[in-house]
């Protein structure tokens, strides 16, 4: 996985999560809260993950499947969060899904889904970061044994 692509996709999704409603004409005052909290933090996490993936590649190691899957699932949840997060527009809270569905029930269901999607998106991004750290680690040293005895070498302070 390319670290530049991770940074770009993460930045675009941070923008989508915090201000995506403006593209549908329903942006409101809550955007000023979402940008510094949700948008900046998700973009920062994405840049951190991209840096760790780059370090993994520079050390000649592969980015494992656990990192990629966690990151892609985080992106999917971030997309869902962008569709379901509400903003103040006109009469009250409106989400993209509620706006497209045109019903108050759609807004209520979208708002009910937005918190779990956001929590899972951030949690999976943190998992991807932890997995990326593990991917770049040096392998554990082999345990040295005494020749012929089959025992571990004694600690030098013992």
The verdict on residue 154 lying in a domain is no
The verdict on residue 38 lying in a domain is yes
The verdict on residue 143 lying in a domain is no
Q: Which two tokens stand for residue 42?
A: 């998700």
The verdict on residue 50 lying in a domain is yes
The verdict on residue 98 lying in a domain is yes
Phi/psi of residue 75, nearest 5 degrees: -65, -40
The domain tally of the chain equals 1
- Parallel, antiparallel, or unpaired for β 92-94 and 87-89? antiparallel
The verdict on residue 19 lying in a domain is yes
pLDDT of residue 154: 67
The verdict on residue 157 lying in a domain is no
The verdict on residue 30 lying in a domain is yes
Residues of the chain with pLDDT under 50: none
pLDDT of residue 143: 60
Domain span holding position 111: 3-136
What whole-number distance in Å separates Cα of residue 120 and Cα of residue 75? 10
pLDDT of residue 137: 84
Spatial contact of 84 and 117, defined as CB atoms under 8 Å apart: yes
pLDDT of residue 103: 73
pLDDT of residue 93: 81
Give residue 43's Cα distance to chain centre.
Answer: 9
pLDDT digits (tens, 9 = 90+) for 14-47: 999 999 888 888 888 888 899 999 999 999 999 9
């Amino acid at each position: 996985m390319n670290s530049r692509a991770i940074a770009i996709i993460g930045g675009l999704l941070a923008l989508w999560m915090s201000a995506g409603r403006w593209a549908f004409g329903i942006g409101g005052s809550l955007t000023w809260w979402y940008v510094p909290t949700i948008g900046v933090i998700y973009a920062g996490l994405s840049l951190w993950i991209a840096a760790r993936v780059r370090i993994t590649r520079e050390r000649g190691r592969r980015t494992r499947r656990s990192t990629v899957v966690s990151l892609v699932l985080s992106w999917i949840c971030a997309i869902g969060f962008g569709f379901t997060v509400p903003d103040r527009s006109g009469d009250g809270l409106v989400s993209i899904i509620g706006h497209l569905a045109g019903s108050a029930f759609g807004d209520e269901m979208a708002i009910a889904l937005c918190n779990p999607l956001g929590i899972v998106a951030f949690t999976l991004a943190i998992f991807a970061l932890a997995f990326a750290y593990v991917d770049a680690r040096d392998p554990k040293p082999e345990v040295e044994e005494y020749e012929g005895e089959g025992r571990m070498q004694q600690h030098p302070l013992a």
